[in-house]
């Protein structure tokens, strides 16, 4: 079956007034065998899409949980080829974006990497260390492969720049909830978040704005929705859950309340 | 202030840091034009730092080469025992001007951590330093110095537990604390504007070399040599000499000689690490490779982007020197001149001696002696290469 496009899926939900939950999964060669069950669990729980993470040796935007996940994945010999294989599995069930740092993509070659991601059903590329100002060549390569490039904004981003980020972003706008790395930090400043969501919506009314970093449970997701965002992204908390219990049932049970909070 | 050096440089950072880097660039642009800031910087450099540092004729060491005269730019005599003071002072004053209330830093050999701790104490800014666990062990005296100076040292236990991981940890701290904190990045690496700004603060080395060599022998040296890890003492030495005919030689750490060591310019390929597009030691998957060097300060998988451009353009020649060669040069300088050099510039000393040997007696080679070797005694003694004369 043809892969579903993430941008389309998110846009459809947004148009219907429905919120979305995205889930980040670190690609790990040692987890290859249980990925189909996990992907099925995610789909059954009602998750809108998956971000597949490519491990990098120096993940500066990641907190302790995803740092150790990346180190473990690299220790298991995870390579670019494992990402393509994981994409094949995941897009059977859900639309998928790929999230990684600049260097693994650059080393692969921008055009080649983007072409491969698209050929394996990927919808979008998210690069936390490629800011808007360096994004040009990456966007050009992605555009040629019909791949979206998701820009990221943060509470530190001035409002006019949020509008610029929203105008340039494709697929959705990734709004970082708080100062700090993934899975860490203080409670988000909801007013600051809402101002940024609203600025993005004014600039691009149809573009979904999803909020991630430090999202742990349904109350976080409800707060994010109350700040007018179109959904939330779950990373470190999902990784911790998978370490404890990587079955489809457990995944579905864990995500159910989060999906409902996002809706 | 260039954002790129040819194709190299840029600012590959998470969005949270973008406004802070822009603020830093604005603050630095305004400070460098401000006569008040410049005179404050000069005054602190003189009164606390001990600038200018001497240019010293290493006559006995030169005789060992039997060729060109070797002169030492004595940055080891600067307050704290290394060139790192120049940059820590400049960024500390800038942080105070920006109203930041806290300093963070990474350190490899500990020299930049010590320099930042000194400046933090002098300016009344609480200072926290990230240092790899391996470096904490091999540079213990510097850890004690930082703590005595009132800084908090955070051990970093990820990866190979050296400089690269310490920078990762400092960047992560900064992403969470950027509203109140200035990250005093210790080398000419990282995202724009750090490479340009650090070069500006370190260029006092090269400017003094130009002035002192003119005063001493009426013209510039024939060759300037400096060691390159991230490359801050080297860019400070080279930058004022780029538009002159002076030959420039950068010396990377070759490690034991059976791998890549820490020679990103001679063994790496272009990639993105710590916010800059530069030469990076990496594998076919774009993962950053482990480095190894006897000197913690050179033990780094990338290099400042301006060096990447200078290598690509051929203006500077870069070579690699092994651990055992650097250790030999350490002992030679100690025995010939009564100076204990740090292991980092010991790499440059070895290369300088090799170059001097091939040159006529009337030519002059300046080596930047970027730091003193007290911190390295344990490592040197462990290697047991000392042989009494």
Q: What total number of domains does chain A contain?
A: 1
Q: In this structure, are residues A30 and A76 in contact, taking their beta carbons and an 8 Å threshold?
A: yes
**Cα separation, A260 vs B167, whole angstroms:** 40
Determine phi and psi for B287, rounding to 5 degrees: -85, 140
Please tell me the distance in Å from A61's CA to the nearest CA on chain B: 6
Query: Quick one: average pLDDT of B279-292?
Result: 96
Name the residue among A106, A131, A179 with its Cβ closest to that of B176: A179
Q: Say whether pLDDT at B260 is over 90.
A: no
What whole-number distance in Å separates Cα of residue B134 and Cα of residue A198?
A: 47
pLDDT recorded at residue B389: 45
pLDDT digits (tens, 9 = 90+) for B363-373: 999 999 999 99
* CATH number assigned to the domain comprising residue A235: 3.20.20.70
- Enumerate the residues of chain A whose CB falls inside 8 A of the CB of residue B178: 156, 179
Share of chain B above pLDDT 90, in %: 94
C-alpha–C-alpha distance, residues B369 and B55, integer Å: 10
Task: Determine the Cα–Cα distance for residues B282 and A221; give it in Å rounded to an integer.
Answer: 39
Written as six digits, the tokens of B322 are 């092994």
In a domain, A227, yes or no: yes
Query: Is residue A22 in some structural domain?
Result: yes
Give Cβ neighbours of residue B85 (< 8 Å, ≥ 6 apart).
Answer: B49, B78, B79, B115, B118, B119
CB B119 within 8 A of CB B96: no
The alpha carbon of residue A199 is apart from the nearest alpha carbon of chain B, in Å, by 16
Q: Tokens 């060759």 label which residue?
A: B223
Work out the pLDDT band at B87, boundaries 50, 70, 90: very high
pLDDT tens, B158-202?
888 999 999 999 999 999 999 999 999 999 999 999 999 999 999
Residues 6 or more apart whose CB falls under 8 angstroms from that of B299 comprise B108, B135, B162, B163, B229, B253, B262, B291, B292, B293
Which range of residues forms the domain containing residue A65? 6-262
User: CA B366 to CA A223: how far, in whole Å?
Assistant: 62
> What residues have CB less than 8 Å from B145, skipping those under 6 apart?
B110, B114, B117
| pLDDT value of position B384 | 77
What pLDDT does B312 receive?
A: 96
Supply the pLDDT for residue A187.
Answer: 79
Contact across the interface for B271 and A107, Cβ inside 8 Å: yes
Active site residues of B: 84, 106, 370
Consecutive 10-residue averages of pLDDT for chain A (263 residues): 86 96 98 95 97 97 95 98 98 98 98 98 98 97 98 97 98 95 84 97 98 94 97 96 91 96 96
Angle at B349 between CA B346 and CA B350, to 5 degrees: 90
Task: Determine the pLDDT at residue B386.
Answer: 58
* Interchain pair A157, B19: CB under 8 A: yes
What is the DSSP track for B33-77? Answer: H-HHHHHHHHHHIIIII-PSPPEEE-HHHHHHHTSSEEEEE-GGG
Instruction: Tell if the CB–CB gap between A60 and B280 is shorter than 8 Å.
Output: no
- Closest alpha carbon to B387 in B314, B320, B334: B334
Looking at the domain assignment, is residue A1 inside a domain? no
| Chain B residues interacting with chain A (CB cutoff of 8 angstroms) | 10-20, 158-159, 164-165, 168, 171-172, 175-179, 271-275, 280, 282, 284-288
Q: How many CB atoms lie within 10 A of CB B267?
A: 18
CA–CA separation, B181 and B295 (whole Å): 29
A4 and B CB contact within 8 Å: no
Q: Which two tokens stand for residue B173?
A: 């701290």
Q: Which of A78, A130, A133, A174 to mutate to test the interface with B (most CBs of B within 10 A)?
A: A133
DSSP labels for A102-167? HHHHHHH-HHHHHHHHHHTTEEEEE-TT--GGG-HHHHHHHHHTT-EEE-EE-TTS-HHHHHHHHH
Does position B387 have pLDDT exceeding 70, yes or no?
no
- Extract the tokens encoding B143: 């850890």
On chain B, the residues whose CB falls within 8 A of the CB of A108 are 286
With an 8 Å Cβ cutoff, are A157 and B176 in contact? no
User: Would A170 be classed as within a structural domain?
Assistant: yes
Supply the pLDDT for residue A183: 87
Helix B140-148 to helix B111-123 angle, to the nearest 10 degrees?
Answer: 10
* Average pLDDT for B61-76: 97
CB of A15 less than 8 A from some CB of B: no
Q: What six digits make up the tokens of B79?
A: 């307050």
Averaged pLDDT for residues B239-265: 95
User: Strand (E) positions, A157-217?
Assistant: 173-176, 209-212
Cβ contact, residue pair B179, A156, below 8 Å: yes
Task: Answer whether B14's CB lies under 8 Å from A63's CB.
Answer: no
Mutation site for B-interface testing, chosen from A29, A57, A183, A185 by largest number of B Cβ within 10 Å:
A57
**Is the confidence at residue B280, as pLDDT, over 50?**
yes
Q: Which residue of A has its CA nearest to B175?
A: A180
The answer to the question of residue A75 being in a domain is yes
């Amino acid at each position: 079956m043809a892969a579903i496009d993430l941008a389309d899926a998110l846009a459809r939900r947004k148009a219907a007034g429905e919120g979305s939950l995205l889930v980040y999964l670190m690609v790990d060669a040692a987890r290859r065998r249980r990925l189909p069950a996990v992907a099925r669990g995610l789909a059954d729980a009602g998750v809108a899409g998956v971000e597949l993470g490519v491990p990098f040796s120096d993940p500066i935007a990641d907190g302790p949980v995803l740092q150790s996940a990346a180190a473990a994945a690299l220790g298991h010999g995870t390579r670019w080829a494992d990402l393509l294989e994981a994409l094949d599995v995941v897009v059977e069930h859900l639309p998928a974006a790929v999230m990684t740092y600049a260097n693994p993509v650059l080393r692969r070659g921008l055009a080649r990497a983007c072409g491969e991601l698209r050929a394996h059903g990927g919808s979008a590329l998210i690069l936390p260390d490629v800011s808007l100002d360096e994004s040009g060549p990456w966007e050009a390569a992605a555009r040629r492969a019909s791949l979206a490039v998701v820009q990221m904004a943060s509470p530190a981003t001035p409002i006019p720049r949020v509008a610029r980020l929203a105008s340039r972003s494709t697929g959705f706008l990734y709004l970082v909830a708080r100062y700090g790395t993934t899975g860490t930090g203080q409670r988000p400043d909801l007013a600051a978040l809402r101002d940024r969501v609203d600025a993005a919506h004014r600039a691009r009314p149809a573009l979904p704005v999803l909020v991630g970093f430090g999202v742990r449970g349904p109350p976080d997701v409800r707060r994010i929705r109350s700040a007018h965002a179109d959904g939330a992204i779950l990373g470190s908390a999902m990784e911790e859950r998978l370490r404890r219990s990587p079955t489809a049932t457990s995944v579905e049970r864990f995500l159910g309340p989060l999906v409902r909070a996002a809706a | 202030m260039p954002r790129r050096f040819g194709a190299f440089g840029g600012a590959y950072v998470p969005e949270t840091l973008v406004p802070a880097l822009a603020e830093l660039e604005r603050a630095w642009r305004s400070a460098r034009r401000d006569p008040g800031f410049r005179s404050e910087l000069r005054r602190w450099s003189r009164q606390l730092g001990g600038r200018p540092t001497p240019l010293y004729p290493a006559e006995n060491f030169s005789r060992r080469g039997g060729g060109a005269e070797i002169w030492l730019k004595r940055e080891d005599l600067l307050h704290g025992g290394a060139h790192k003071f120049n940059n820590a002072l400049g960024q500390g004053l800038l942080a105070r001007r920006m109203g930041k209330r806290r300093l963070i830093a990474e350190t490899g050999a500990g020299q930049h951590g010590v320099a930042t701790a000194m400046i933090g104490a002098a300016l009344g800014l609480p200072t926290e330093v990230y240092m790899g666990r391996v470096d904490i062990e091999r540079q213990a005296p510097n850890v004690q110095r930082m703590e005595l100076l009132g800084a908090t040292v955070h051990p970093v236990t990820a990866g190979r537990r050296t400089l690269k991981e310490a920078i990762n940890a400092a960047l992560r701290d900064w992403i969470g604390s950027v509203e109140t904190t200035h990250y005093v990045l210790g080398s000419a690496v990282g995202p724009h504007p750090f490479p340009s700004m650090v070069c500006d603060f370190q260029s006092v080395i090269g400017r003094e070399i130009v002035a002192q060599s003119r005063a001493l022998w009426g013209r510039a040296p024939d060759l300037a040599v400096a060691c390159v890890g991230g490359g801050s003492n080297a860019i400070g030495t080279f930058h004022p000499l780029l538009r002159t005919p002076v030959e420039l030689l950068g010396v990377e750490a070759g490690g034991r000689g059976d791998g890549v060591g820490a020679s990103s310019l001679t063994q790496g390929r272009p990639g993105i690490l710590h916010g800059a597009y530069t030469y990076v030691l990496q594998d076919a998957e774009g993962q950053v490779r482990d480095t190894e060097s006897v000197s913690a300060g050179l033990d780094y998988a990338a290099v400042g982007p301006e060096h990447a451009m200078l290598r690509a353009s051929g203006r500077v020649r870069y070579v690699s020197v092994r651990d055992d060669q650097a250790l030999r040069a350490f002992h030679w300088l100690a025995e010939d001149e009564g100076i204990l050099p740090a292991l980092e510039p010991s790499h440059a000393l070895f290369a300088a001696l090799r170059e001097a040997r091939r040159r006529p007696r009337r030519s002059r080679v300046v080596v930047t002696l970027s730091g003193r070797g007290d911190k390295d005694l344990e490592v040197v003694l462990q290697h047991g290469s000392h042989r009494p004369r």
